[in-house]
Chain A
Amino acid sequence: MEQVLRRKQKGNLARAFYRFKKNPLSLVGLSIILVMILIAILAPFIAPYPGDSAGAVHFKQMFQPPSWKHPFGTDEVGRDVLSRVIFGSRISLMLGIVVLFVAVGVGIPLGLFAGYLGGKVESVIMRITDIFLAIPPLVLALAVTAVLERNLYNSMFAIAFTWWPWYTRLAYGEALSKKEEDFVEVSESLGASRTYIMFREILPNMTSSLLVKITLDMGYAILVGAALGFLGLGAQPPTPEWGTLVSLGRIHLPKMWWLSTFAGLAIFITVLGFNLLGDGLRDFFDVEVE
């Protein structure tokens, strides 16, 4: 009978955390994200003036600079900017999640089919993917929103529409390399169905690169959503989407700087958080592969 180690081996989770700890910036990124998520979930409870997030109007208090009563000041109709920024986090995070959900859900299976099945399937899927990849994402999103009615949901759809090809390409590359591995040949020789092999043999081996990309993409998706909002093509006022907030406050710069600045800062910090976390994850997984 095979002997086993005498001493207790550290669990997988403990090892993972130990390695992750080595990179302090990624911990910063993780903290930022966790705080943002918390803010988004608890928005109605922590915003000082929850009513201001939508249609409330207080003309008497408009354009007030930051004070104890309104830490981020008030906007052109007297709404508390802090509350609006807090509620804006819900919109941005939701946008990121929905976009990625669709992009991954559509892109990954397409890439798996193309990579594993090859032949005509591969040609068709990859050529279509190449076409989409050739157009800059923002331009394509603009084009789509120009055709549709301008609202938040359509802007999410537009962004997702431009995002899926990157996941197809990722899955395609991974599928091509993993399908040559012996364990895939074993499953084939046992008579496993092609679907099983794609989703239960190959896909689980992609999770590390997938996770890194999703994390980094969250930041970019939020940025593109804010860009659309800024251009007036996404969420419409009075929805407190960060990009829209920046756009509305732009004409009042630099005198009433608080209208745009805090929303802009929120975008910056969130995207930074996702970037740091994503970079940290990438380093983390690299070592693991080694």
Chain B
Amino acid sequence: MNRALIRTEGLCKYFFRSSGLLQRREIVIRAADAVDVTARTGETLALVGESGSGKTTLGKTMIRIYKPTKGKIWFNKEDISSIVGAKLKKHRQYMQMVFQDPTSALNPRKTVVDIVGLPLKIHQSSSRAACRARVRELLEMVELPADFLYRYPHALSGGQKQRVGVARALALNPLLIVLDEPTSALDVSVQAKLLALLEQLRGQFKLTYIYISHDLGVVRNISDRTVVMYLGQIMEAAPTAELFKRPLHPYTKALLSAIPIISDEEQDIIPEEITLKGEIPSPLDVPSGCRFISRCQEKTSICKSKEPRLIEIDNDHYVKCHQCFSSSQQTPEEVATQCP
């Protein structure tokens, strides 16, 4: 098993608001709450969840786009949770991000060469000629023609814009790339090509990906390990094949049940038909006890009063659910059968 490239320990990201006469800071949103997650070198870790799950916040906090509120982040065994200044700048080279909306991720007033060359200008103070050469190289890697150098984003299609975003992320030869739903704005046929490109680049440059998505179909096919999030916490985490074969948490099962599948073979994979009632609670108003309580159909009294812990049921398969783990004396098999 590969070693961890990036690991978080009790990572929290809260958003505050100052209010009152004394301008006291109060917590408004617990976007990510006490998250422990690990991405191993060379693997693709998927963060899955719907809106308000905190997956994007977690991804951005892990690579220090946001400053963590609490907890630790270890990158290559180095604590990067509170580094600043030159040290932080150095680390930024190793961790890059590709954004969800290709249109707003590219400055409409800049040309492709300026956009992709920006990281080079900031971190390597490259000359214009060196920049141009490197950008040409990067465009080739993402299969865009060299004459796109001087184009503006509005002249590009969605898929092409996203490739520019990927080229920019590759500019500094990073070790880790966080991809925030990079294909959700794209058509299915374009998505498939982009995913194939990403996979090829991963092998070629020995990259580690953290892939944020709400699309379980994509996740099934491109990730090694999947983490399911809800309202800022991890509900379940397991190797992808295992998660899809044996989903344990009620939310995971509901997610699987809700995917619009297109074939009968896929229908067999889905464990049971679950339609969740109600809405995702607002992150401003998180329920006490288990966060999933307002929509769970298996809940009992303990779920309301006590927050469950994230516990390893089986080989690398973690679940945060009272119904799945009531006694520490039970064997993993007994526990698995107990899960509703």
Contact = CB atoms under 8 A, between A and B. Distances in A.
Q: Do A and B share a complex?
A: yes
Interface of A: 1-2, 4, 181-183, 185-192, 201, 204-205, 207
B339 interface: no
B109 A186 contact: no
A189 B109 CA distance: 19
B145 to A, nearest CB: 6
Q: Which 7 A-B pairs have the closest CB atoms?
A: A204-B109, A182-B104, A182-B105, A183-B107, A189-B65, A191-B89, A182-B99
B134 interface: no
B118 interface: yes
Interface string B66-82: 00000000000000000
B264 to A, nearest CB: 36
B92 A201 contact: no
Q: Which range contains the number of B residues in contact with the other chain?
A: 20 to 34
Nearest to A181: B104
B107 A201 contact: yes
Contacts of A190: 92, 118-119, 122-123
Contacts of A1: 143, 145
A183 B108 CA distance: 9
A186 B99 contact: yes
A205 B108 contact: yes
Interface of B: 63-65, 88-89, 92, 97, 99-101, 104-110, 115, 118-119, 122-123, 143-145, 147, 160, 168
Residue of B89, B100, B110 with most partner-chain A CB within 10 A = B110
B143 A205 contact: no
Contact of B160 (A2, A187, A189, A205): A2
Q: Is the interface of A mostly helix, strand, loop or mixed?
A: helix
Contact of B118 (A2, A181, A185, A187): A187
20 contacts: A2-B144, A2-B145, A4-B145, A182-B99, A182-B104, A185-B99, A186-B99, A186-B105, A187-B118, A188-B65, A189-B64, A189-B92, A190-B92, A190-B119, A190-B122, A190-B123, A204-B109, A205-B107, A205-B109, A207-B109
Contacts of B160: 2
Contacts of A181: 104
B123 A191 contact: yes
Given A182-B99, A185-B99, 9 more contacts: A1-B143, A4-B147, A183-B106, A183-B107, A188-B65, A189-B65, A190-B123, A191-B92, A205-B109
B145 A192 contact: no
Nearest to B163: A2
A1 B148 CA distance: 12
A189 B145 contact: no
Nearest to A178: B107
Contact of A2 (B106, B119, B143, B168): B143
A204 B118 contact: no
Contacts of A187: 118
B68 to A, nearest CB: 15
Contacts of B101: 182
Nearest to A289: B108
A189 B63 contact: yes
B273 to A, nearest CB: 38
A182 B92 CA distance: 17
A289 to B, nearest CB: 10
Residue of B99, B109, B110, B147 with most partner-chain A CB within 10 A = B109
Contact of B104 (A2, A183, A189, A201): A183
